[in-house]
Structure 1
Amino acid sequence: MTIDEQQISAELRLMAGEARPVDGLAHATRARNAAVRRRRASWSVAGLAAAASVITSVLVMTSGGSGQVAAARVEHLPANTPEQLRSVRECMPKGSPVHNMDGNRRMTQYGTVKDFRELVEYRDKGGSTALVGSLSGFVLCTPTTQKENQPRAVFTYWGFKAPGSLTGFPGPLQVDAYTSHDHSYTVGPDQAEKDDIYRIVVGRVTTDVRRVEIDWADGRRTDARLANGFFIARVPGKLIPDPDDGKDAVGEPPTLLDSPPVTVTAYGPGDQVLKRDKGVAFGPLGRGTE
């Protein structure tokens, strides 16, 4: 494979910008309304790596079930295993991220399958969600047997601004998304459709972080999964009545995902608090993109 050193150098220079902080609470209500209603409209219409690119100082971490972490510095994104590569391809069946409103509209300017790596995955009894990233940004992947209801692979830049800064974040913790993802499947002899919605938090950490905890503001606290300098956590979400009158796009009473702001805390050796982000607001994926 021919390596374009000038292009790599240019991309590295572009990646040097500072990451921006998470947007405020002003976006939360609008985001929840749009996400849930688009999701239901989509169900109605649906018919109810190989090579790693070189970057500077990516942090690689591995975590055991107890949350203990060992860290090392490397100069490339981790390569996908064959199983991870299959998962990335299933996540992006169009071969690249897609438009947040049109799952058939490919957004190849954000990369293709070969550019993305499975960075960290959260598994629970309901399934899994993975953070899948490139040098520029990331998508979320929640596998489902209902391929027509596969959550869209919507791209978000690291730092929320092109060209995306993977390592340029201040402090030991960067929250990159607090959002939701759906898992649709069928149950019972009649193959009745069931759909679960999850609240998800993902981000990045430095080598001194040993544990990341999410306070979901509803009495639940979750330790995130850590790997490769990234973290992810999810909990089942709950839909609540929309205070607005009327019906949604498919004629049902409107509901909203109950998604109050969360608190994300990074702990170091000895479980001391290294950084705590309070009031992290729910928001859609795709920030900073077209």
Structure 2
Amino acid sequence: MNNLPRKVKFTTILNILKKRPIPMFFGFLFTLIPLFIFSVLTIVFLSIGNDTPEIDFDLIKSKGRITNAKITDIETQYNHSHNGVHPTIISYNYLEKGKEINSKYKVLEENKIEELKIGDNIEIKTFNGSSIIKDLKPYDFSIWFFLFIPIPFLIIGLPFLIYSIFNLKKELNLYKFGKIEKGKIISMMPKSGFGLFNIGQGIIVHYENEMKNGKKIIGESITSDFSIMSDKKKGDFVPIFVSTENEKKSCIIPKLQSLKNNWNIEFE
């Protein structure tokens, strides 16, 4: 490889990606957007935290000690519901080993708590510093469930993204380190674009070049240089980049990108 790789501007990288717009579109849409959503939800959920202590309900229910507690607050959460019922957070305090303990308990049993009010005494079970309200099951709304929503999108998008990155890396290596040779044009065919803006519109060029062992191979390359259709014809030669590691890898040298990146390549 050349010790000094050719410089490649960001606009040239975008131009490579746009050559295959469909994999790029689905890859970025179904991969990057879900990853962004995943990151935002993670930050939001971590900042919110849990509004009630984490408990092992079954353990406390089986091994807990029954004691009395006094309700200090009852808060209904109207910002979300489950099957039309809003969860309620019951705050209470109790004495344990002479020390007053304050705790909260979230439930979704509207009928069982409708007569409860602040100041009422209730029975709770305590075990190792944790507690539950007797005969009431806790309501645990797992916000982490939402973090699994992007996974199907990632499954769809990752293959497209990997394909786009693979082709980008392959062509970038040719742009940076490929040796300059000549390819003989065999055919040229217009390639339609994608979407309203015809992203990826270009020319598919088939060309023939000779390897070191004298064997001739056929290469295919997509170029966005439409002038090639008027400037060149079948049988003419065009400059190509050929990989120094694998002569079967090659691509047409894009005239416009060569000028933008100051590659100093002569075009006939």
TM-score, scaled relative to structure 1: 0.20
Name the structure where helix makes up a greater proportion of residues: 2
Computing the radius of gyration from Cα coordinates, the structure with the larger value is: 2
Q: Which has the higher strand share?
A: 1
TM-score (norm. length: structure 2): 0.21
